[in-house]
């Protein structure tokens, strides 16, 4: 009887753990489907001049494949390398600059599938002027340094 109770407790805790993990990517007010802005996607060409889009993942400092198929110059579609991390679903987060993505891996058919466990990540999307604003800040700093050097002379 004790073994039966112990088995039941373990089973309930596992089910509860899965429900909690699924909740972060599951339903809720923050769970409205979203589309990724094209400005946040980066091109990823391969050696055969085929190209696919990726999204930078700041949590792992890696990239997530947006679609597990790549477009080639001759109009042919090829699959991205099997096992590459990819985006299964995208949902809006509370912060408008963030999205919540469910991460899976590309299979040999060119589909993005989950690995069984719920790997949800909150990703901050880059702003449309993020690169330009950094360059402007650097220019301003250089100008200030030059002005400071002129005053010293």
Which residues span the domain enclosing 58?
A: 23-126
Q: Number of folded domains in the chain?
A: 1
Cα 62 from Cα 101, distance rounded (Å)? 14
| The pLDDT of residue 21 | 44
Residue 102 lies in a domain: yes
pLDDT by residue (tens digit) across 68-104?
999 998 888 999 989 999 999 999 888 888 999 999 9
| The pLDDT of residue 130 | 53
| The pLDDT of residue 75 | 87
Residue 17 lies in a domain: no
CATH classification of the domain holding 35: 2.30.130
| The pLDDT of residue 29 | 42
pTM of the model: 0.63
Q: Would you call 82 helix, strand, or coil by DSSP?
A: coil
| The pLDDT of residue 47 | 86
Q: Which helix (H) or strand (E) segment is 100 a member of?
A: strand 98-106
Residue 58 lies in a domain: yes
Residue 47 lies in a domain: yes
Residue 42 lies in a domain: yes
Q: What is the mean pLDDT of each run of 10 residues along the chain (153 residues)?
A: 66 51 50 79 90 91 92 89 91 89 92 84 77 46 52 50
CB 80 within 8 A of CB 52: yes
């Amino acid at each position: 009887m004790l073994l039966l109770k112990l088995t039941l407790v373990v089973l309930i805790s596992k089910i509860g753990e899965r429900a909690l993990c699924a909740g972060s990517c599951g339903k809720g007010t923050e769970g409205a489907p979203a589309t990724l802005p094209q400005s946040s996607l980066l091109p990823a060409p391969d050696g055969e001049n085929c190209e696919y889009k990726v999204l930078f993942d700041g949590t792992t400092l890696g990239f997530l494949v947006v679609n597990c198929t790549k477009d080639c110059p001759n109009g042919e579609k090829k699959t991205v390398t099997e096992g590459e991390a990819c985006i299964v679903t995208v949902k809006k987060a509370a912060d408008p600059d963030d999205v919540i993505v469910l991460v899976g891996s590309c299979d040999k058919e060119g589909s993005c599938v989950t690995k069984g466990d719920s790997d949800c990540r909150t990703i901050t999307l880059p702003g449309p002027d993020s690169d330009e604003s950094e360059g402007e800040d650097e220019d301003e700093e250089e100008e200030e340094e030059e002005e400071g050097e002129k005053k010293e002379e």
